[in-house]
Amino acid sequence: MRILVSWDNPQQAELLSLFLDHDGNEPVICTGRPEALSAAGDGLWDVILMAVDPRDFDGAFDHFEALRHALPDCPVVAACYPQDVYRIARFMTHGLRTYLIRDDAGDFVFMLRSILESTVDSVRAERERFVAERLRQEVESVRRLQESIIPNDLRSPRGYQIVARYESSQIQVLGGQPVVMAGGDYYDAFMLDDDSLVLLLGDASGHGMKACMSIMTMHTLIRAMRNEGYRDTAAFVAEVNRRLCEQDIVADEGGFITLLFAILRADTHEFQWTSAGHPSPLLHELEADRVSPLGTIDDGGLPLAIMPDAEYEAHVAAIPPLSRLLLYTDGLEEAFPEQAAHLEFGRAGTERVLKSCRSHTLADTLQALFDASHDFTGGAGRHDDTSVVLLERS
């Protein structure tokens, strides 16, 4: 650490230099106040040590204020004699970090390094906590902005019910307090007309603020395109992809977004969808208690923002009576215990919950999916955002 010393006793100054100039420390000893003030402006210092002359307390205080003005972020440690401790209160109320008791014999130097090091460590820890709190506030602001684009009031066509939920990822830290992260999941559902329901699920690669901003970029783009009449899901996804490839915030550092875009025609019960690298929907036929994916693993196209001319296909399936359709992001299935990352909640866990809830309400089934996935982590929390849309044809 770099130590600026402003001392009033030339004989002790040499002793200070001898004890401080070890283990990579860089002390600069000044025996005059003007010299110390000049040195203060010459570089970066980790800590200032100054002597408080009992013969000139007012002058010492003015010198302290001048050092604080020159180096406002640098902690100052004062050294005073035992009988003058009560006068240090004036310094403490004006930003003095701490003080030590000096003596004419110089025995105080044996404690000097440890006091200065602990002072520097304490200041660094406070700065780290401050930066961490500011970062937490920034992440929280972005997370709230992200959640503001998630719809709360979902409409469904006649003969159908719909529920949906988004949850940010959570990580456990020391003390057991969960930290809610900003993330890159997204869903939307809205009616084109009385019989057509649009469903979207998106998942930006990575975590944190970049993923969050990527998904918000896509949301803004899709909202701007809503009135362009894309009833061909493949054409819609291809156009979204082309426009996203022009946005550096998504493609930067190899980023991409998976997307499932679907339209349900309630009058014909036709479900048309296009996948850009997104998990396939799961169909749960309640009477047969059979869960199966719509389409195959080969039905998904390339994720968005990778190739501007990528081609996508539209797929069509009929939604049978008394069935449920599950659309989700991979955070649901990829939940895992902290000590066993190779184990995942997986498709098996998802199907198990769907079957166990076949007679439950749609809302209770949605809750059970989130609860079971979270419980599978052993309390550690899902390390990826999770979005689920659950649709039922009655």
Q: Write the single-letter amino acid at 46.
A: D
The answer to whether residues 25 and 54 touch, using CB atoms and an 8 Å cutoff, is no
51 token code pair = 């002597």
pLDDT for the residue 126 = 92
Residues 179-204, mean pLDDT to the nearest whole number: 84
- Residue 41 scores a pLDDT above 70: yes
pLDDT one-digit tens code per residue, 130-166: 887 887 777 777 777 777 778 888 999 999 999 999 9
Distance CA 27, CA 274 (A): 67
- Residue 120 scores a pLDDT above 70: yes
Among the listed ranges 5-19, 146-160, 164-178, 277-291, which one has the minimum average pLDDT value?
164-178
- What is the number of other CB atoms lying within 10 angstroms of the CB of residue 207? 18
Secondary structure (3-state) at 187 = strand
Q: What is the pTM of this model?
A: 0.69
The answer to whether residues 259 and 202 touch, using CB atoms and an 8 Å cutoff, is yes
pLDDT for the residue 174 = 41
The answer to whether residues 382 and 374 touch, using CB atoms and an 8 Å cutoff, is yes
Distance CA 315, CA 300 (A): 10
> Which ranges of the chain does DSSP label H, i.e. alpha helix?
10-20, 33-40, 57-70, 89-92, 109-148, 208-225, 233-244, 248-251, 346-356, 362-376
Q: Which domains does the chain have, with CATH numbers?
A: 2-128 (3.40.50.2300), 149-393 (3.60.40.10)
Residues 281-292, mean pLDDT to the nearest whole number: 97
Output the average pLDDT for the chain.
89
**178/239: higher pLDDT:** 239
Give which of 139, 100, 138 is closest to 118, Cα–Cα: 100
Residue with tokens 């009992």: 54
pLDDT for the residue 175 = 46
- Residue 178 scores a pLDDT above 60: no
Beta bridge partners of 185: 203
- Residue 173 scores a pLDDT above 60: no
Residues above pLDDT 90, as percent of the chain: 61
Report the interhelical angle of 233-244 vs 208-225 (nearest 10°).
Answer: 130
303 token code pair = 């994720």
Secondary structure (3-state) at 26 = strand
How far, in whole angstroms, is CA 272 from its chain's centroid?
35
pLDDT one-digit tens code per residue, 58-110: 999 999 999 999 999 999 999 999 999 999 999 999 999 999 999 988 899 99
CA distances from 100 to 81, 139, 328 (A): 8, 41, 62
The answer to whether residues 315 and 283 touch, using CB atoms and an 8 Å cutoff, is no
Q: Which helix or strand (DSSP H or E) is residue 262 part of?
A: strand 257-265
pLDDT level of residue 338 (50, 70, 90 thresholds) = confident
CA distances from 150 to 45, 134, 235, 299, 330 (A): 49, 25, 24, 27, 18
pLDDT for the residue 77 = 96
| ∠ Cα 183 187 191 (to 5°) | 160
